[in-house]
């Protein structure tokens, strides 16, 4: 899909649909909307008066063959209350407009950014909104005869003087959204098409093309490095595990700058192992590699955006299968750090592979750690598909991430990590156990386990189990993989 910025007056833009947004106010026909209203002979004023045009969030009003403008249609999208409007609303409006028009076989559209909103950030949001909205998880459908496609999007409303800022935002938005879609494409792959080895190949190809340093550890190297926690999960599968390391080195590193470690859980299929999951809904466990895919996508974006800090991405990947060699409840494993673990439930495997992942990231020089993982069903109970669960060992670092989440328009909510929860994972015969001996706080317990391997490093854990997959389509996003947390993490790294 082509996206361009157009600085000529919007009345003269030849497009199948001119999209603009309208606030929920006593008179929604104001500013640029009033200008269009005038050209269209007062049509919008009449729609507002009749109650058809209110500006309520994501209300759509489609007008065909409007007078006074070159566009074939006008699409008015409700933007809600003006006080609450921000770049996240604009991103959703752009995305929802694209999906609305695409379903009506429209092939191109122009979105008019409103007076007062014409910034670099707005152009970025529009680009991100339309590109992520355009993604369809239909790669394996063979009948594409009736496929509807948006071929081009024009961002309008920027004057010649505002053009540079707009172009900058558009470029940045494209890099980020393409990377988010890259991650979503990986997440959407079923486990027979995406084994740990195939994921590693794809990560390596991406890294090489993007100019990043990459190293793939195979099962032999993983064993030599004594990554016992990762190996314990992998031993039940005939598919060998992989550990991916992708590094971004800034052109001129700032002395004393942090080195960010991004660790992502990539279980290409989670059957639960010997502690096997129920059949109902098990097919969804192909997305148990979403954390890893997201981190690989973040690196893809960073390679183009060139932040000034070093970033090391570590992705442990395996299947979790109940094979003849699979680990069994009660088995004791030694993690790379030397800590011993009682594996009381083989379905709590994400924390095991992350134990070695965070330890290795530290060993490679990461000073600040962030992991992303579809870790617990408990976070789905707590926050559903609305918020990412956030856990942190350092409040200043966690606050910085939460601020980035807000700026990137991704909902995240911090959950507790009190020392008292440590008791719940104290081992009986080994150092720690991989599930709680008590009841409740399942998402926190998962985080507490990972924390055991982070030492004194500031560390954040993102539990994306509830948010990595959309069970239902949203007006601005297809059903399926979301690529959540990518934008926040890119924003966070860029803020250093």
Q: Catalytic residue numbers?
A: 277, 351
Burial 356-374 (b: 16+ CB within 10 A, else e): bbbbbbbeeebbbbbbbbb
The C-alpha atoms of residue 13 and residue 313 are separated, in whole angstroms, by: 44
Which CB sits closer to ligand BES, 55 or 442? 442
Q: How far is the CB of 122 from ligand BES (least distance, A)?
A: 34
The C-alpha atoms of residue 86 and residue 88 are separated, in whole angstroms, by: 5
Q: How far is the CB of 367 from ligand BES (least distance, A)?
A: 28
Beta bridge partners of 73: 64
Task: Count residues near ligand BES (CB under 6 A).
Answer: 16
**Contact with ligand BES (CB under 6 A) among 270, 319, 342, 356:** 270
Q: Does 374 bind ligand BES (CB under 6 A)?
A: yes
The C-alpha atoms of residue 222 and residue 230 are separated, in whole angstroms, by: 8
Q: How far is the CB of 115 from ligand BES (least distance, A)?
A: 44
Task: Count other Cβ atoms within 10 Å, centred on residue 240.
Answer: 17
Answer yes or no: are the C-beta atoms of 102 and 43 closer than 8 Å: no
Q: Which residues contact 294 (CB under 8 A, 6 or more apart)?
A: 183, 187, 264, 372, 464, 468, 483, 484, 485, 486, 489
The C-alpha atoms of residue 355 and residue 449 are separated, in whole angstroms, by: 8
Q: How far is the CB of 347 from ligand BES (least distance, A)?
A: 4
Binding partner selected for residue 345 from Zn ion, ligand BES, none, CB under the kind-specific 5 to 8 Å limit: ligand BES
The β-bridge relationship of strands 388-392 and 459-463 is: antiparallel
Phi, psi for 46 (deg, rounded to 5): -65, -40
Q: Does 483 bind ligand BES (CB under 6 A)?
A: no
Q: Which residues contact 115 (CB under 8 A, 6 or more apart)?
A: 31, 32, 157
With contacts defined by CB under 6 A, name the span among 168-176, 244-252, 369-377, 470-478 that binds ligand BES.
Answer: 369-377
Which CB sits closer to ligand BES, 234 or 301? 234
Q: Does 415 bind ligand BES (CB under 6 A)?
A: no
Q: Does 377 bind ligand BES (CB under 6 A)?
A: yes
Whats the size of the chain, residue-wise?
Answer: 496
3-state DSSP call for residue 393? Answer: coil
Q: Does 276 bind ligand BES (CB under 6 A)?
A: no
Q: Does 454 bind ligand BES (CB under 6 A)?
A: no
Q: Does 232 bind ligand BES (CB under 6 A)?
A: no
**Contact with ligand BES (CB under 6 A) among 465, 477, 486, 492:** 465
Residues that bind Zn ion (CB under 5 A): 267, 270, 288, 347, 349-350
With contacts defined by CB under 6 A, name the span among 208-216, 330-338, 345-353, 407-415 that binds ligand BES.
Answer: 345-353
Phi, psi for 5 (deg, rounded to 5): -100, 135
With contacts defined by CB under 6 A, name the span among 98-106, 323-331, 375-383, 417-425 that binds ligand BES.
Answer: 375-383
**Contact with ligand BES (CB under 6 A) among 110, 133, 243, 348:** 348
Q: Does 376 bind ligand BES (CB under 6 A)?
A: yes
Answer yes or no: are the C-beta atoms of 345 and 329 closer than 8 Å: yes
With contacts defined by CB under 6 A, name the span among 131-139, 142-150, 371-379, 480-488 that binds ligand BES.
Answer: 371-379
Q: Does 319 bind ligand BES (CB under 6 A)?
A: no
Closest by CA position to 376, among listed 340, 351, 404, 359: 351
Task: Count other Cβ atoms within 10 Å, centred on residue 139.
Answer: 9
Answer yes or no: are the C-beta atoms of 430 and 340 closer than 8 Å: yes
**Contact with ligand BES (CB under 6 A) among 95, 157, 166, 350:** 350
Phi, psi for 28 (deg, rounded to 5): -75, -10
Binding partner selected for residue 18 from ligand BES, Zn ion, none, CB under the kind-specific 5 to 8 Å limit: none
Instruction: Indicate the residue whose CB is closest to ligand BES.
Output: 377
**Contact with ligand BES (CB under 6 A) among 72, 257, 380, 407:** 380
In the shown chain, the binding pattern of residues 174 to 193 toward ligand BES, with x for contact by CB under 6 A and - for none, equals: --------------------
Q: How far is the CB of 377 from Zn ion (least distance, A)?
A: 9
Q: Does 480 bind ligand BES (CB under 6 A)?
A: no
The C-alpha atoms of residue 395 and residue 413 are separated, in whole angstroms, by: 13
Closest by CA position to 93, among listed 482, 490, 474, 485: 474
Q: How far is the CB of 288 from Zn ion (least distance, A)?
A: 4
Q: How far is the CB of 280 from ligand BES (least distance, A)?
A: 12
Binding partner selected for residue 22 from Zn ion, ligand BES, none, CB under the kind-specific 5 to 8 Å limit: none
Q: How far is the CB of 351 from Zn ion (least distance, A)?
A: 9
The C-alpha atoms of residue 310 and residue 306 are separated, in whole angstroms, by: 10
With contacts defined by CB under 6 A, name the span among 115-123, 135-143, 244-252, 368-376 that binds ligand BES.
Answer: 368-376
Q: Which residues contact 194 (CB under 8 A, 6 or more apart)?
A: 186, 202, 268, 286, 289
Beta bridge partners of 48: none
Q: Does 378 bind ligand BES (CB under 6 A)?
A: yes
**Which pair of structure tokens corresponds to residue 347?**
């379905």
Q: How far is the CB of 212 from ligand BES (least distance, A)?
A: 28
Which CB sits closer to ligand BES, 154 or 195? 195
Give residues in contact with ligand BES (CB under 6 A): 270, 288, 345, 347-350, 374-378, 380, 435, 442, 465
């Amino acid at each position: 899909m082509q996206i361009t910025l157009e600085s000529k007056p919007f009345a003269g833009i030849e497009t199948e649909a001119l999209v603009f947004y309208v606030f929920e106010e006593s008179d929604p026909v104001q500013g640029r909307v009033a200008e269009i209203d005038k050209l269209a002979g007062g049509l919008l004023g009449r729609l507002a008066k009749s109650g058809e045009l209110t500006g309520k969030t994501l209300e759509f009003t489609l007008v065909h063959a409007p007078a006074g403008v070159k566009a074939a249609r006008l699409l008015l999208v409700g933007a809600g209350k003006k006080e609450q409007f921000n770049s996240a609303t604009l991103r959703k409006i752009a995305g929802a407009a694209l999906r609305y028009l695409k379903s009506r076989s429209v092939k191109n559209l122009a979105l008019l950014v409103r007076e007062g909103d014409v910034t670099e950030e707005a152009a970025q949001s529009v680009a991100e909104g339309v590109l992520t909205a355009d993604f369809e998880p239909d790669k394996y459908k063979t009948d594409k005869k009736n496929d509807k496609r948006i071929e081009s999007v024009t961002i309008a409303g920027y004057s010649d003087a505002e053009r540079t800022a707009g172009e900058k935002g558009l470029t940045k938005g494209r890099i980020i959204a393409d990377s988010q879609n890259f991650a979503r494409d990986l997440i959407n792959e079923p486990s027979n098409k995406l084994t740990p080895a195939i994921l590693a190949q794809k990560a390596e190809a991406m890294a090489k093309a993007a100019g990043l340093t990459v190293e793939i550890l195979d099962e032999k190297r993983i064993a030599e490095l004594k990554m016992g926690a990762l190996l314990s999960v992998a031993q039940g599968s005939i598919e060998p595990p992989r550990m991916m390391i992708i590094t971004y080195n800034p052109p001129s590193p700032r002395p004393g700058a942090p080195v960010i470690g991004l660790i992502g859980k990539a279980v290409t299929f989670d059957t639960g192992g010997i502690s096997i999951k129920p059949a109902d809904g098990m097919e969804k466990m192909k997305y148990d590699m979403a954390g890893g895919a997201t981190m690989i996508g973040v690196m893809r974006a960073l390679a183009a955006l060139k932040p000034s800090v070093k970033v090391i991405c570590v992705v442990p990947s395996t299947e979790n299968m109940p094979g003849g060699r699979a680990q069994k409840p009660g088995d004791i494993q030694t993690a790379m750090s030397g800590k011993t673990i009682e594996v009381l439930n083989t379905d709590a495997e994400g924390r095991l592979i992350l134990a070695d992942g965070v330890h290795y990231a530290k060993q490679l020089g990461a000073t600040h750690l962030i992991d992303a993982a579809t870790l617990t069903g408990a976070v789905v109970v707590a926050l559903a598909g609305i918020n990412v669960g956030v856990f942190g060992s350092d409040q200043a670092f966690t606050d910085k991430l939460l601020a980035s989440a807000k700026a990137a328009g991704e909902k995240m909510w911090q959950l507790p990590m009190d020392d008292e929860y440590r008791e719940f994972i104290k081992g009986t015969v080994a150092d720690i156990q991989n599930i709680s001996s008590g009841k409740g706080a399942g998402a926190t317990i998962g985080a507490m386990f990972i924390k055991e391997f982070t030492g004194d490093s500031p560390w954040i854990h993102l539990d994306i189990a509830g948010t990595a997959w959309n069970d239902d389509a949203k007006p601005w996003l297809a059903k399926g993989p979301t690529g959540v947390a990518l934008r926040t993490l890119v924003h966070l790294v860029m803020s250093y």
